[in-house]
Amino acid sequence: MTELTLSAVTKAYGRKSVLAGVDATFPAGLTLLVGPSGAGKSTLLRIIATAEKPQSGTICWNGAPMPGARQTLRQVLGYAPQAVELPEELTAREFALHIAALKGLDTAEADLQFGAITAAIGLHDDINRRIAGYSGGMRRRLIFAQALLGDPQLIALDEPTAELDHESAAAVSALLLERARRAVVVMTTHLADQLAPQAVQVLRIADGKTSKA
């Protein structure tokens, strides 16, 4: 069983309730998380990625509840946030190997993986360039690529295809679908239509709750 379960998860910022009791199960395969801007998609993804704690509720990974599961979850997790500051002075490859070190991965193996991932998404020719010279679309693909290092069992992607041209978006989608055959993949997107047929579920978030679309 590879499965992430959220029960009665709540989150508020000050007085503003964003998640008002989310009950959702994320099985192996691709889950699309959709909803209008400000609905709480990124908030939910940050909670799944343990980058933020919920106010209340439980999160279970393969049946084991957090916080006990928190450490386990981090070991199996790949996360691509919606917006992140990248180290401009590093090359993409140096950045990826830094992430790999933080994840405790073998450097040579991670280097091979990064090469293969970037080759699949049209970024390989630029991996030895400094990130400072990267375009928006290249940055987005780099954030996506680092999330796949170490073959994580849980992959959380916040709008991985935003800002990408059609060809790059298709390459990213193909790779995440391939990973979804052996991992729990959760992604937010404003363009769910193309991927919905290949998803195990589409969850819509509205009024702080999720429901199957």
Ligand X SMILES: Nc1ncnc2c1ncn2[C@@H]1O[C@H](COP(=O)(O)OP(=O)(O)OP(=O)(O)O)[C@@H](O)[C@H]1O
Footprint of ligand X (CB under 6 A): 13, 18, 35, 37-43, 82
Looking at the Cβ atoms of 40 and 150, the one nearer to ligand X is: 40
Orientation of helix 166-179 relative to helix 136-147, angle to 10°: 10
Min dist CB 198 to ligand X, Å, is: 22
Q: Which of 31, 42, 113, 153 binds Mg ion (CB under 5 A)?
A: 42
Pick one of Mg ion, ligand X, none as the site partner of residue 152 (Cβ within 5 to 8 A by kind).
Answer: none
For residues 163 and 137, the answer to whether their CB atoms sit within 8 Å is yes
By the rule CB under 5 A, 189 interacts with Mg ion: no
> What, of Mg ion, ligand X, none, does residue 13 touch, CB below 5 to 8 Å by kind?
ligand X
- Judged by beta carbon, residue 40 or residue 160, the one nearer ligand X is 40
Q: Are 137 and 161 in contact (CB under 8 A)?
A: no
Pick between residue 60 and residue 162 the one whose CB is nearest to Mg ion. Answer: 162
Minimum CB distance to ligand X, residue 148 (Å): 21
From the list Mg ion, ligand X, none, pick the one residue 40 interacts with, judged by a Cβ distance below 5 to 8 Å according to partner type. ligand X
Report how far residue 22's alpha carbon sits from residue 65's, in angstroms, rounded to the nearest whole number: 16
Phi then psi for residue 28, to 5 deg, are -55, 145
Other Cβ atoms within 10 Å of 16 Cβ, number: 7
Q: How far is the CB of 81 from ligand X (least distance, A)?
A: 11
Touching Mg ion, residues 61-120 (CB under 5 A): 82
Query: Nearest approach, Cβ of 3 to ligand X (angstroms)?
Result: 23
Residue 39 interacting entry, from ligand X, Mg ion, none, C-beta within 5 to 8 Å by type:
ligand X
Residue 136 CB, nearest distance to Mg ion (Å)? 16
